[in-house]
Amino acid sequence: MSQSAVDVPPKGGFSFDLCKRNDMLTQKGLKAPSFLKTGTTIVGLIFKDGVILGADTRATEGPIVADKNCEKIHYMAPNIYCCGAGTAADTEAVTDMVSSQLRLHRYQTGRDSRVITALTLLKKHLFSYQGHVSAALVLGGVDITGPHLHTIYPHGSTDTLPFATMGSGSLAAMSVFEAKYKEGLTRDEGIKLVAEAICSGIFNDLGSGSNVDICVITKGNKEYLRNYMEPNPRTYVSSKGYSFTKKTEVLLTKITPLLERVEITEVGEAMEE
């Protein structure tokens, strides 16, 4: 490592030191790695008292399912949640970053965060990276001005909608919404519709699968229903399990005993006056 690149906690932002080396490797014929994507179906809708967000739980790495039960509904503020599709690292990093910025903003202003604040912070960040930070988001929440639902595209454009879908399963989910959405849905009708839309994505889109997560946000209250529906349980589980008659051949064993963790309570004298 060069002398100037000392590894003290950096000032923030991205570092591009390895780009030249990676380009050289790509030119020599070595293909770049594929990132963890969240193929995904994410949806949101506005109902009578607030916003309902829904997401599937499959994370893919190329054609392989890397995570069967990942969380795609990210916390932004107590009254704002955000679903993310696209490159998993980007959605997680961008939502974490804006969530921290919103918290600092809440401390500074002394007020609850507004959805439009989160929207502006997200779109500014994504636009400045010209779409290279590949995060497509569905942002929803209820603030002092009422319930809001927005979609944010990786290049930084946004839409404000009464119902929205994003991700590879968005067409499947949108077909359900277009057929059955109406204004003034009750909480139960809304949850049922969101679950139906996500299921449509799960069953018809190969990039989405596993379970349905739902988040209901109303004025002053939020409910995160993790794994609300599990329409894909393991169908056959062998009761016996695997038993290995032929044991693995071990060449060498080294046992390191760990010291017991001792709680030291300081018994000392009081400070002299």
Does residue 103 belong to the site contacting another protein (CB under 8 A)? no
Does residue 272 belong to the site contacting another protein (CB under 8 A)? no
Active site residue ranges: 40
| Cα–Cα distance for residue pair 51/46, rounded to 1 Å | 4
Does residue 179 belong to the site contacting another protein (CB under 8 A)? no
The residue within the footprint of another protein, chosen from 20, 27, 107, 266 (CB under 8 A), is: 20
Contact criterion met (CB below 8 Å) for 149 and 139: yes
Q: Smallest distance from the beta carbon of 25 to another protein, in angstroms?
A: 6
- Classify 87 in phi/psi space as left (phi over 0), alpha (psi -120 to 50) or beta: beta
Q: Smallest distance from the beta carbon of 263 to another protein, in angstroms?
A: 12
- Classify 113 in phi/psi space as left (phi over 0), alpha (psi -120 to 50) or beta: beta
Does residue 244 belong to the site contacting another protein (CB under 8 A)? yes
Cβ proximity to another protein, 4 vs 248, nearer residue: 248
The residue within the footprint of another protein, chosen from 24, 35, 111, 186 (CB under 8 A), is: 35
Measure Cα distances from 165 to 96, 102, 125, 255, 257 in Å: 22, 24, 21, 54, 54
Kindly give, in sequence order, each residue whose CB lies less than 8 Å from that of residue 258, ignoring residues fewer than 6 positions away.
none
The residue within the footprint of another protein, chosen from 57, 81, 83, 90 (CB under 8 A), is: 90
Does residue 66 belong to the site contacting another protein (CB under 8 A)? yes
| Cα–Cα distance for residue pair 216/224, rounded to 1 Å | 6
Q: Map residues 224-243 to x or -, x wherever contact with another protein holds by CB under 8 A.
A: -----------------xx-
Nearest to 136 by CA among 72, 77, 190: 72
Return the H-helix or E-strand segment holding 163: strand 163-166
Cβ proximity to another protein, 14 vs 107, nearer residue: 14
Does residue 17 belong to the site contacting another protein (CB under 8 A)? yes
Stretch that binds another protein, among 23-31, 104-112, 163-171, 200-208 (CB under 8 A): 23-31
Q: Smallest distance from the beta carbon of 162 to another protein, in angstroms?
A: 31
Nearest to 149 by CA among 135, 136, 163, 137: 163
The residue within the footprint of another protein, chosen from 19, 144, 179, 206 (CB under 8 A), is: 19
| Chain centroid, CA 224 distance in Å | 13
| Cα–Cα distance for residue pair 27/46, rounded to 1 Å | 49
Q: Smallest distance from the beta carbon of 247 to another protein, in angstroms?
A: 7
| Cα–Cα distance for residue pair 218/237, rounded to 1 Å | 40
The residue within the footprint of another protein, chosen from 30, 144, 179, 206 (CB under 8 A), is: 30
Stretch that binds another protein, among 142-150, 161-169, 196-204, 245-253 (CB under 8 A): 245-253
- By CB under 8 A, name the binding residues for another protein: 1, 7, 10, 14-22, 25, 29-33, 35-36, 59, 61, 64-67, 70, 87-90, 92-93, 132-133, 241-242, 244, 247-260
